[in-house]
Chain A
């Protein structure tokens, strides 16, 4: 992919991150085309979030290069930031503000021209179906509404690439489906490229054009869900694909360490 003449949305080469003596991300390379929905799959601690943090300029890589929307994440980090949206796993809307105030903050941080701010905010609220709740404090929102608001925040400056870290964790089935519909619309209507991490195979099946399986900081497979299933055999599911590539993960990283568990559970609790 990405070799058809036009520049890919994401071009990652030999990207590596070492914390002390621990190699969190071990020289991964992949490309994502414009308009693709691309999933990073793997057990907790496999390095998905670290990859996302490097691609969103939050953490500098130890070595290797990555280009997002054509810009280098190290040398042109400000340009990268202008062109991406990021929805972290943790809650990123301020509960002490209303939805409109949250969106206004984002508009100002991203330098959306003053005359366009109000219209963009209204459009984002309508797009996410939050118009009638826009002046309520976010602390009174349900988990699904907060997720929708976070998507609204991240699309306000019309980024070309959106990163979502476990976008539907802790949501009920109806809210999950709503998020999926919005992801599809972001791609369809605004031609955005979407990179997401998830633990749910049905989410991959529903949404993603391609997926990368990550294990111990390395990419062990990248392809479309259909091709990966074919590779296993007739009638195989994505769960079978996951099990095959992650055969020895359970003994090592069952559910992440204490602080990860605490964070995940807390973020789930504060969303529901």
Chain B
């Protein structure tokens, strides 16, 4: 008695089509609602754009004077801009879970969970919206780095690749954040853990210095860090003359697998949040 035949939709193919179109509409609904919230209150977008700007302008300008940080044939600014892009996306995504705790403290989470929308549709919709925020951040980094004279690759295909990478990275860290939120369930604990995670993820990666400069133990840690693969591919696509260390396809594959696993994990945890 697991499958219920709905009148008028008894044909399996028709049922499947209906299920797929419902799923797409559910993802789209959650996605739109999240973006409408940003549109009603865009202040946050601007304040968030300040941080990557400071990294490029202050940190970048000083470190530009240190020789040997960037691989041969690249200025440190070129090297840094991809790392800062990834970092600003990470910072947007990692605090994403707090909205789920807000939703739970109100009744908005309950409202989502009593609807027939599968949990994955809700989580994917939210993660996609986080990706759009990430892309706006990315746009800021492109403009500032370009104005500062970074050797950006502006071919449409590369920019498309960068957008997909931002989407993947955002999806990955936003769902990680959501999973943490579902486990800790309180804003205070979440803020603590969010801070605790961001710094190691950022520093144990190739975002602002090459892995080759790290001590051996940190090298090992950095190869387990998804941000490393995101930055590796971003750099190769974003900067003229940069090369990927692991191979772009490999980077994409790793990020996709981790993001998919986290979507499934957070979807499972999400429905337990009301209990």
In chain B between 152 and 180, which residues have their CB closer than 8 angstroms to a CB of chain A? Answer: none
CA distance A106 to B29 in the complex (A): 8
Of B1, B2, B110, B115, the most chain A CB neighbours within 10 A belong to B115
In chain A between 76 and 123, which residues have their CB closer than 8 angstroms to a CB of chain B? Answer: 76, 78-79, 81-82, 84, 86, 88-94, 96-98, 101, 104-111, 114
CA distance A116 to B26 in the complex (A): 16
Whether B25 is near chain A, meaning CB under 8 Å from some CB there, is: yes
How many residues on the A side are at the interface (Cβ–Cβ under 8 A)?
Answer: 41
Interface residues on B, range: 20 to 34
Whether B113 is near chain A, meaning CB under 8 Å from some CB there, is: yes
Of all chain A residues, which has the CB nearest B23?
A111
Asked whether A91 lies within 8 Å of B106 as measured between CB atoms, the reply is: yes
Contacts of A270 in B (CB 8 A): 106
Of all chain B residues, which has the CB nearest A117?
B25
Asked whether B116 lies within 8 Å of A114 as measured between CB atoms, the reply is: no
In the complex, what's the smallest C-beta–C-beta distance from A60 to chain B, in angstroms?
9
3 closest cross-chain pairs (CB), A and B? A108-B29, A90-B107, A92-B107
Question: Could you give 22 example pairs across A and B, Cβ below 8 Å?
Answer: A53-B274, A58-B110, A59-B274, A59-B275, A76-B1, A79-B4, A82-B116, A86-B114, A88-B111, A90-B105, A92-B108, A92-B110, A94-B37, A97-B37, A97-B40, A106-B111, A108-B30, A108-B32, A109-B26, A266-B105, A267-B107, A270-B106
A72-B1, A78-B116, A91-B108 known; 14 new pairs, CB 8 Å cut-off, are A58-B110, A81-B115, A86-B111, A88-B110, A92-B108, A96-B37, A101-B33, A104-B32, A107-B29, A108-B25, A108-B28, A111-B26, A266-B105, A267-B106
Which residues of B are interface residues toward A (Cβ below 8 A)?
1-2, 4, 22, 25-26, 28-30, 32-33, 36-37, 40-41, 105-108, 110-117, 274-275
Which residues of A are interface residues toward B (Cβ below 8 A)?
53, 56-59, 71-72, 75-76, 78-79, 81-82, 84, 86, 88-94, 96-98, 101, 104-111, 114, 137, 153, 263, 266-267, 270
